[in-house]
Chains A and B, each alone.
Chain A
Amino acid sequence: MIDAPLVIEDAPLRAVWYAAWRFVLQRASAAVLALCVVVHLATIIYAVRHELTAAAIVARMHASAFWPAFYTIFVIAVAIHAPLGLRAIADEWLGLRGRATDAVLALIAVLLLGGGFYAVRSLTT
């Protein structure tokens, strides 16, 4: 049970670097999303209170270059934030970790980017 002392080797620097940057990206995308979601929640309430029809919303989306830019940033931030959040859940609650899991999460990121950009394009063109 009590064996010889464990030799603690430093983790490979690249792994540490990737991990630190995953954390930075998760928090940075969170900060971006905080702003985007506040705007999004505001537009939701505005649309609901003014009983905007979908056609009216689409018209407003076309009216300004702000909306495609805003939603593009929104989609990118989501595509970074959601897979990283799911990574922690997969690791801690499903016991899924390692290269294969990371590959699946990267795929999810790509799908979110694709689906999101397609939706934004449908909205604003």
Chain B
Amino acid sequence: MPSTFPVLIWRGAADGAFRRYDVPRLASQTVLDVVTHVQRHLDASLAYRYACRVGMCGSCAMTVNGKARWTCRTHVDAVAGDSALEIGPLHHLPIVRDLVVDMAPFFDKWAAAKGEFKPTASRYDDFATVAPSSPARRAIDATIECIGCGVCYASCDVVGWKPDYLGPAALNRAFTLVKDVRDGAGVSRLRAVAGDSGCQSCHTHQSCTERCPKHLSPTASIASLKRLVALAALKGNL
């Protein structure tokens, strides 16, 4: 009979509270294992999200002991130790219920930053040629890997302080498209990220970079956007 350990899980919406569950401690246990155990064996009313459970989809992102993480890739041993394990929904997003947040504001800001590709060719045109070694392509080598999990957004304190701030993921995506030679959005995207809620509000905390499960650096992308916006403004191209 494995020993149990205390786990605090957020129940309810924004006006909810942490509730304690005693969960069996097992070797190589992940936080997602813990949540799943609670829902299947202790309290079927617990709401949470997951999909691949192997660290590819980002659906299981939650706040674990104050830090945003993918729960399927977080070993309990690495975060709990002797203290209790505290599991809550991602910060900075409206709580639907328990561990489930409404991702709509996250993606609304993605759209507001013009994070959508604007094609300049049609299916009748030849394939675009993008040299892998070109500077523009190399600059976004890492940034294209973002899967929109929301961990960086939840980790960014500026998002917490400034509700309109577009946030690291949206700005990272905007930068990725700015450097995409096939994209036709041009100055309209720079304008989208040049406002008060745009790249200039980043204070280089690098919490996003610290927490990104894919080891991207939105801070680096945003620094590049700052440079591009400043140059465009100086040249009168904004």
Contact = CB atoms under 8 A, between A and B. Distances in A.
The answer to whether A and B interact is yes
Interface of A: 1-2, 6, 8, 10-11, 13, 15-17, 19-24, 27, 88, 91-93
Interface in B201-237: 201, 203, 226, 229-230, 232-234
Given A1-B102, A2-B102, A22 B191 contact: no
A10 B108 CA distance: 13
A92 to B, nearest CB: 4
Nearest to A89: B161
B200 to A, nearest CB: 4
A20 B235 CA distance: 12
Nearest to B102: A1
Nearest to B161: A92
Contacts of B102: 1-2
Nearest to B233: A20
B23 interface: no
6 closest cross-chain pairs (CB), A and B: A92-B161, A23-B200, A20-B233, A20-B194, A19-B196, A19-B195
Contacts of B94: 1
B162 A15 contact: no
B184 to A, nearest CB: 16
Nearest to A9: B112
A10 B192 contact: yes
B96 interface: yes
* Interface of B, helix, strand, loop or mixed by DSSP: helix
Contact of A19 (B158, B188, B198, B234): B198
B80 interface: no
B111 interface: yes
A8 B112 contact: yes
A20 B238 contact: yes
Contacts of B188: 10
A88 B232 CA distance: 22
Interface in B152-202: 158, 161-162, 188, 191-192, 194-196, 198, 200-201
B47 to A, nearest CB: 13
A23 B94 CA distance: 31
Contacts of A11: 191-192, 195
A96 to B, nearest CB: 12
Contact of B230 (A13, A15, A16, A27): A27
A24 B237 CA distance: 14
B200 A1 contact: no
Contacts of A93: 161
B233 A24 contact: yes
A8 B195 contact: no
A12 to B, nearest CB: 9
A1 B96 contact: yes
B191 A13 contact: yes
A88 B195 CA distance: 13
Contacts of A17: 233, 238
B104 interface: yes
A15 B96 contact: no
Nearest to B96: A1
A88 B197 CA distance: 11
9 contacts: A2-B102, A6-B104, A8-B108, A19-B196, A19-B200, A20-B230, A20-B232, A20-B233, A22-B200
